Amino acid sequence: MLKLEHVKKQYKDFHLDCSLTVKPGMITGLIGANGAGKSTTFKAVLGLIRTESGMVELFGKRPEEITPEDKERLGVVLADSGFSGYLSIRDLIPVLKAMYHQFDQTYFEEQCRRFELPMTKKIKEFSTGMKRKLQVLAAISHHADLLILDEPTAGLDVLARDEMLTMLREYMEIEGRAILISSHISSDLEDFCDDIYMIDHGQVILHEETDTLLNEYGLLKVDGKQYERLDKTYVLRSRKETFGYSCLTNEKQFYQENYPDIVVEKGSIDELIMMMVRGDRS
Amino acid sequence: MKGLLIKDLKLMKNQKSFFMVMAVVGLIFLITWDAPYFAISYITMMFSMFAITSFSYDEFDNGAVYLFTLPFSRKTYVREKYLFGLLTCLIALTVSTVLAIGASVIKGQSVDLVTIGATGLSSITICVLFLSIAFPIEIKFGVEKGRIGFIVIMAVFFLGFYLVMKLTQDGELMGVLNLIRKVEQLSGAVIVLGLGIFWCVAGLTSMKISICFLERKEW
User: In this predicted model, what pLDDT tens digit does every residue of B99-115 receive, in sequence order?
Assistant: 888 888 887 878 788 88
Whether the predicted pLDDT of B28 surpasses 60: yes
Q: Residue B34: which pLDDT band, with cuts at 50, 70 and 90?
A: confident
What mean pLDDT is predicted for residues B82-110? 88
Contact B63 A95 (CB under 8 A): no
Q: What is the pLDDT of residue B174?
A: 56
Contact A99 B70 (CB under 8 A): yes
Q: What is the pLDDT of residue B67?
A: 94
Rounded Cα distance, B179 and B182, in Å: 5
Bigger pLDDT: B96 vs A139: A139
Whether the predicted pLDDT of A147 surpasses 70: yes
Alpha helices in A60-104 (DSSP H): 68-71, 89-99
CB of B110 less than 8 A from some CB of A: no
Rounded Cα distance, B151 and A3, in Å: 45
CA distance B154 to chain A (A): 29
Q: Residues 131-160, chain A: which have Cβ within 8 Å of B?
A: 135, 148
What mean pLDDT is predicted for residues A63-80? 92
CA distance B164 to chain A (A): 43
β-pair partners for A222: A245
Bigger pLDDT: B170 vs B189: B189
Count of CB contacts below 8 A, A vs B? 85
Rounded Cα distance, A275 and B193, in Å: 73
DSSP designation for A223: -
CA distances for A89 relative to A119, A120, A125, A152, angstroms = 5, 6, 12, 18
Q: Residue B194: which pLDDT band, with cuts at 50, 70 and 90?
A: confident
Given a contact cutoff of 8 angstroms between Cβ atoms, the answer to whether A254 and A230 are in contact is no
Q: Residue A63: which pLDDT band, with cuts at 50, 70 and 90?
A: confident
Q: What is the pLDDT of residue B209?
A: 96
Contact B67 A84 (CB under 8 A): yes
Q: What is the pLDDT of residue A106?
A: 95
DSSP designation for B34: S
From B22, B7, B53, select the one nearest B147 (Cα to Cα). Answer: B53
What mean pLDDT, rounded, does chain A reach?
A: 90
Bigger pLDDT: B100 vs B181: B100
What mean pLDDT is predicted for residues A181-202? 86
**Torsion angle in degrees (nearest 10) through CA of A107, A110, A112, A113:** 180
Element (H, E) at A63: none
What mean pLDDT is predicted for residues A10-24? 92
Q: Where are the domains of chain A?
A: 2-212, 217-281
What mean pLDDT is predicted for residues B27-38? 80
CA distances for A91 relative to A137, A160, A210, B6, B52, angstroms = 15, 24, 40, 9, 20
Multiple choice CATH, A2-212, 1.10.10.10, 2.30.30.30, 3.40.50.300, 3.30.830.10: 3.40.50.300
From B120, B135, B58, select the one nearest B89 (Cα to Cα). Answer: B120
Element (H, E) at A180: strand A178-182
Which residues of chain A have a CB within 8 Å of the CB of B64? 81
DSSP designation for A88: B
CB of B69 less than 8 A from some CB of A: yes
Whether the predicted pLDDT of A111 surpasses 70: yes
Q: What is the pLDDT of residue A182?
A: 92
B122-172 confidence digits (pLDDT tens): 889 988 988 998 899 989 988 777 777 777 777 887 787 777 767 766 555
What mean pLDDT is predicted for residues A245-273? 87
Whether the predicted pLDDT of A116 surpasses 70: yes
Count CB neighbours of A129 within 10 A: 17
CB of A120 less than 8 A from some CB of B: no
DSSP states of B164-181 = HHHHHTT-TTT-HHHHHH
CB neighbour list of residue B179: distance below 8 Å, 6 or more residues apart = none
DSSP states of B67-116 = HTTSSS-HHHHHHHHHHHHHHHHHHHHHHHHHHHHHHHHHTTPPP-HHHH
Bigger pLDDT: A277 vs B89: B89
Question: Is the four-CA dihedral A188, A193, A196, A202 of positive or negative sign?
Answer: negative
Q: What is the pLDDT of residue A142?
A: 95
What mean pLDDT is predicted for residues B165-190? 68
CB of A68 less than 8 A from some CB of B: yes
The complex's ipTM works out to 0.85
∠ at Cα A235 (A229, A241), nearest 5°? 75
Rounded Cα distance, B63 and A92, in Å: 14
Q: What is the pLDDT of residue A184?
A: 76
Classify B26 as helix, strand or coil.
Answer: helix
Q: Residue A112: which pLDDT band, with cuts at 50, 70 and 90?
A: very high
CA distance A57 to chain B (A): 16
Which residues of chain B have a CB within 8 Å of the CB of A50? 218
Given a contact cutoff of 8 angstroms between Cβ atoms, the answer to whether B96 and B39 are in contact is yes
From A202, A185, A205, select the one nearest A193 (Cα to Cα). Answer: A185
Q: What is the pLDDT of residue B171?
A: 55
Whether the predicted pLDDT of B185 surpasses 80: no
From B1, B59, B215, select the one nearest A81 (Cα to Cα). Answer: B59
What mean pLDDT, rounded, does chain B reach?
A: 85
From A132, A124, A192, select the one nearest A160 (Cα to Cα). Answer: A132
Rounded Cα distance, A94 and A225, in Å: 69
What mean pLDDT is predicted for residues A248-268? 88
DSSP designation for B13: G
Whether the predicted pLDDT of B20 surpasses 70: yes
Most confident by average pLDDT, A24-28, B168-172, B188-192: A24-28
Rounded Cα distance, B213 and B219, in Å: 13
Q: What is the pLDDT of residue A140?
A: 94
**Torsion angle in degrees (nearest 10) through CA of B44, B46, B47, B53:** 150
Which residues of chain A have a CB within 8 Å of the CB of B66? 76, 78, 81-83, 135
Rounded Cα distance, A234 and A218, in Å: 11
Q: Where are the domains of chain B?
A: 2-159+188-216
The b/e string for B150-170 (b: 16+ C-beta within 10 A; e otherwise) is: beeeeeeeeeeeeeeeeebee
Which residues of chain A have a CB within 8 Å of the CB of B14? 86
Bigger pLDDT: B187 vs A258: A258
What mean pLDDT is predicted for residues A53-67? 91
DSSP states of A94-153 = HHHHHH-TT--HHHHHHHHHHTT--SSSBGGGS-HHHHHHHHHHHHHTT--SEEEEESTT
Bigger pLDDT: A124 vs B150: A124
Q: Residue B79: which pLDDT band, with cuts at 50, 70 and 90?
A: very high
Q: What is the pLDDT of residue B172?
A: 54
Closest CB to A83 among B3, B63, B76: B63
pTM greater than the 0.90 cutoff: no
Given a contact cutoff of 8 angstroms between Cβ atoms, the answer to whether A183 and A153 are in contact is yes
